Structures are given as structure tokens and as C-alpha cells.
Structure 1
């Protein structure tokens, strides 16, 4: 796939799960930031490039950068965030949630590919939970030899 989408699905809105991820970021900061959704139905806004540095500056004194990075990463590497970023005309936003620049075609294409990859992964997981469990793979040659040696040791 080398062409970005041309049909927009409109603003991509947050689910309860997206709000929980946003809250995980919010509790690590000394003040709220406007880019994060506050309730289900709020729009998911793509972050401006370098925004993590602005967010890190607002971290509570006892918060390690790694914890903040993981919380932000959980939000920005989600399926709905990628979906919002992949939309035609999607804009990057500053820490207050104001649009600052459009996403580049390359960034939209990457977001589109990651969204589709995550979507396929979820589809495969849901399909495999419906299908009956596959029979276990036959033991490898190494496992067969080990089992034979163990049986021989028990017999002596």
C-alpha cells in the first residue's frame, strides 16, 4: 500500500479505553493538557512533532521519564490514534490541543499501515478465539530424543 486514504471518516473520537490511557498520562503531570481526550466522544488529536518534550516538562517531580514515556507511548501507539493520524486532512496539535500543522503524506501513510496492521492483529485474535483449538504440534526431534533418554534412564 503506497497511497494514503482519500476518504475521511471525520474526527476520530475517543472510547472509554482511550480516556483511560489519557488519564494514565494526566496523573503523571502537574497540570492537565488540552490535547488529551477527557471523556468518550472527545476527538483524538495527533501530537505535534517533539510534543513529548513539552509533556515531560510538566511531569511531577517524582515521575521518572520512563514511566511518562510508556504512558504516552501507550496512547500514541494505539489503533484509534493511528486511525486519527491517517485521516485525510489530519492536523498535528500542540499541548493545548490547537492545530499547528498538517501531517505529512508520509506520516499519514505510516499511520495508515500501522492502523491496518493492528486491525488485522485484532481480527486474527478474535477469529482464533472462535475457532477450535488446533492440535498440538508433534514433538521436535530433540524432544523425542530427550523423552527416549528419560524413559531409558527410568528403566535402569
Structure 2
């Protein structure tokens, strides 16, 4: 039985600390990777191609290997934008932030662990995305204003009256 039928969240949206398994691509990630590959002269193996494929953190400097694969009629800016939508996505950030996650080369082979600093940075980005999207519980409303003294209320009323008379 699949996760949705069992009422469980997909792996990509579970807590970063509770589940150290692979983050699996959903339709939105596959669409982003198809957009990336459409700009290149050949697809790159590190990207998930189907729903359920793992999302793998990129090796540092991978841009230098991807950039030469750009189709001649496509701008570098277009590639940068579509790559940014993928690497700044929630699922990619979860994949980087997971304990024990590894970076991968252009062919999808692991090349080394994600550094602790990069893992922490990804966790912070993920938390920021949760807050921005409203998936984190809302902050409590601001406390009510403190009660003001009777003298302060009268003074404020008199000052307001003086300002309107001028």
C-alpha cells in the first residue's frame, strides 16, 4: 500500500531528523529536472527522471560540468534560473540536510559526504521555506497592549484635539 493511502506524508516532507532514508522525487521535482535536461545537449544522470527516484545532492563545482552541456541557442541565465528552482526546492534542501547524505557527480556516483556546515545551512533553508509557506504552526498573536493610565488617555485625547484645531 502506498504512503498516501496509509495517510502518511511523503518522505520529502517528513522531519529531517527522524528519517535518514533517501528523499524521493515527486512530480514537481521531476518536472523541474525535465526542464533542466531540455536545456542541455544530453540529459545528466544525477537528476531524478521518474517519480520515486532519489534526489541526490550535487557535488561541489558541478555547475562547471553542467554549463558546457548547454544547448547553443539557450542562454546561461535560463539554465541558472531553472537549476536554481531545483536546488532551492524544499525536497533538495531536505536531501542535503539529511544525516549521512552524500554529494554526487554528474553521473550520479557518490563523491563524498555533505559537510556539516552545508547540512546546517540546508536545514536553515528548509526551516525558512516551512515558515514562508505557512506549514509551520503560526506564531501566537501579539500580546494585547498594556493598560494605559487614565491620565495618559486624557493627555492623548487633549493632544489630538490640539492638533486638529490648527
Report the TM-score, using the length of structure 1 for normalisation: 0.74
CA distance in 2, matches of 1:26, 1:90: 24
Contact 1:7 1:88 in 2 (8 A): no
The correspondence for 1:98, drawn from 76, 90, 109, is 109
Q: Specify which structure has the higher proportion of helix.
A: 1
The yes-or-no answer on 1:77 pairing with 2:88 is: yes
CA distance in 1, matches of 2:136, 2:95: 23
| Greater Cα shift, 83-92 or 7-16 | 7-16
1:69 is displaced (CA, Å) by 0.5
CA RMSD between the two structures:
1.9
Paired residues, number: 123
1:9 is displaced (CA, Å) by 3.2
Structure 1 residue ranges, 4+ long, deviating more than 3 angstroms after superposition: 5-9, 124-127
Report the TM-score, using the length of structure 2 for normalisation: 0.70
| Greater Cα shift, 40-49 or 5-14 | 5-14
Q: Indicate the residue corresponding to 1:44 in structure 2.
A: 55
* Structure with the larger RCO, 1 or 2 (CA within 8 Å, 6+ apart): 1
CA distance in 2, matches of 1:121, 1:93: 29
Q: Indicate the residue corresponding to 1:24 in structure 2.
A: 35
CA distance in 1, matches of 2:30, 2:58: 16
Q: Bigger radius of gyration, 1 or 2? A: 2
1:8 is displaced (CA, Å) by 3.7
